[in-house]
Amino acid sequence: MRKLELHWQILIGMLLGIVFGFVMTQVDWGKGFVSDWIQPLGTIFVTLLKLIAIPLIIASLVKGISDLKDISKFRNIGLRTIMIYVATTVVAITIGLVLVNIAQPGEGISEETIVKLTEAYANDKGVTDKLEEASKQKNSGPLQFLVDMVPENALAALSNNTLMLQVIFFTIFLGISMLLIGEEKAKPLKDFFDALNDVVLKMVDLIMLTAPYAVFALLAGVVVSSSDPDLLLALLKYAGVVVLGLFLMIIFYTIVVGVFTKKNPFWFLKEISPAQLLAFSTSSSAATLPVTMERVEEHIGVDKEVSSFVLPVGATINMDGTSLYQGVAAVFISQALGFDLTFGDQLTIVLTALLASIGSAAVPGAGMVMLVIVLESIGFPADKLAIGLALIFAVDRPLDMCRTVINVTGDATVSMVVAKSVGKLGEPNIKEWDDHLDEIQPKK
């Protein structure tokens, strides 16, 4: 029998997880059962992906750089990547702002709903934690992000998943220095990283064997811990605007892929879909990164010289879905609380949402922290921030899942465009987990 393709397996796992989650909310012991016995399986899966993220970034980036025959190419790739990332993010924010201004979802929210949401969430730990984190982030100077990019201790950086940009900085430094000592001298190190790269990609294949079960556990967990359905309903219009915006981004990416890379956009979506489904299930582009890299390199044919740089950088700084959401949420909150926005304020939102998405961590809920900074930039009263966040908190998790899909798809799209522009978009070269299994099995 032909094996069901991976994205179908994952999709079935997700659907069964949602159904199971709903069934469990109907019985008294259901919630506890899911969080004690089901959810941990999903957590282990996410942890495994995080476990291999740093070794994969290092091995693949060193390999990518040391394969470069011409170092000026790297500058080319770097500049193009950053420029295209900024451009796609501006498109995303603009789409969000146009939609929210047309649909005006904040106008229809009744006073009663605002009171209800405020009571439910303004003092919720989720909201207060986000406000606290935002205040920590904003007390830094304009060049702080550059300072933060340079690690003072390479090993400390390598041992911390939140320091992805430091790891990238150190690895590029290492790779370029390897090129400069000459091929012969660098060979042992290069061989080591080449082998490490193959091994870690194999780990991705092995972890992905469990993906359909893991997404079942993750989604069942999300369903049992989601908010009161009445509150979700009240926010339907706002959530609808965000989701519509995100959907338009998918259309935008397919056009970009078709026009700039001449590849079939539907083929692209099919090949990247396992990464999208994981982004949806985990709400974290960082956790999805190993799978995104594997799909883009092996299934789409982007050369490692490009993907090894573009994707890890993208996971940290390119968040089109997050910035679109920040634009919509900022305007929605202002509308609902009667805070008038001028055209200038909306332009400020474009700029700060761009910077905020660069600064958002690639983990669940990070976009909401930076939303606080967007709101502050337009002079939103500080004493109303908690109420503002309370208004959107109930639907934040489902929207986070959707925007993470866009964040990951955006990174993959840009990697294809950059690869095409420097002649590095080749043919897929798919490796299965059991390619060499025969060699280690007892001979019959």
* Residues making contact with ligand ASP (CB under 6 A): 283-285, 319, 322, 360, 362-367, 400, 403-404, 407
Query: Which residues make Cβ contacts (< 8 Å) with residue 80, sequence separation at least 6?
Result: 418, 421, 422
Q: How far is the CB of 177 from ligand ASP (least distance, A)?
A: 31
Strand partners, 302: 425
Residue facing ligand ASP at closest CB distance: 367
Comparison of 197 and 404: residue with beta carbon closer to ligand ASP: 404
CB of 157 to ligand ASP, least distance (A): 20
Alpha carbon 370 to its chain centroid, in Å, reads 15
Cα 96 to Cα 316: distance, rounded to the nearest angstrom: 21
Residue 306 main-chain phi, psi, to 5 deg: -95, -55
CA pair distance 109, 113, nearest whole angstrom: 7
Amino acid at 53: A
For tokens 């489902």, what's the residue? 398
CB of 408 to ligand ASP, least distance (A): 7
- Shorter beta-carbon distance to ligand ASP: residue 349 or 425: 349
Nearer to ligand ASP, 297 or 400 (CB): 400
Q: Using an 8 Å Cβ cutoff, are 53 and 203 in contact? A: no
Residue closer to ligand ASP by CB (options 106, 321) is 321
Write down the least CB distance from residue 326 to ligand ASP, Å.
Answer: 8
Considering only CA atoms, which of 250, 249, 183, 190 is closest in space to residue 58? 190
The rounded distance, in Å, linking the Cα atoms of 61 and 312 is: 9
Which residue number, 212 or 365, has a Cβ lying nearer to ligand ASP?
A: 365
Query: 142 phi and psi, to 5 degrees?
Result: -65, -30
Closest to ligand ASP by CB, 300 or 358: 358
CB 133 → ligand ASP: shortest distance, Å? 12
Q: Around Cβ 166, how many Cβ atoms within 10 Å?
A: 20
Q: At its nearest, how many Å lie between ligand ASP and the CB of residue 101? A: 21
Which CB sits closer to ligand ASP, 217 or 289? Answer: 289
Q: Nearest distance from residue 261's CB to ligand ASP, in Å? A: 23
334 or 404, CB closer to ligand ASP?
404
DSSP annotation of 126 reads: H
Query: How far is the C-alpha of 444 from the C-alpha of 441, rounded, in Å?
Result: 9
**Cα 222 off chain centre by:** 18
Q: How far is the CB of 124 from ligand ASP (least distance, A)?
A: 17
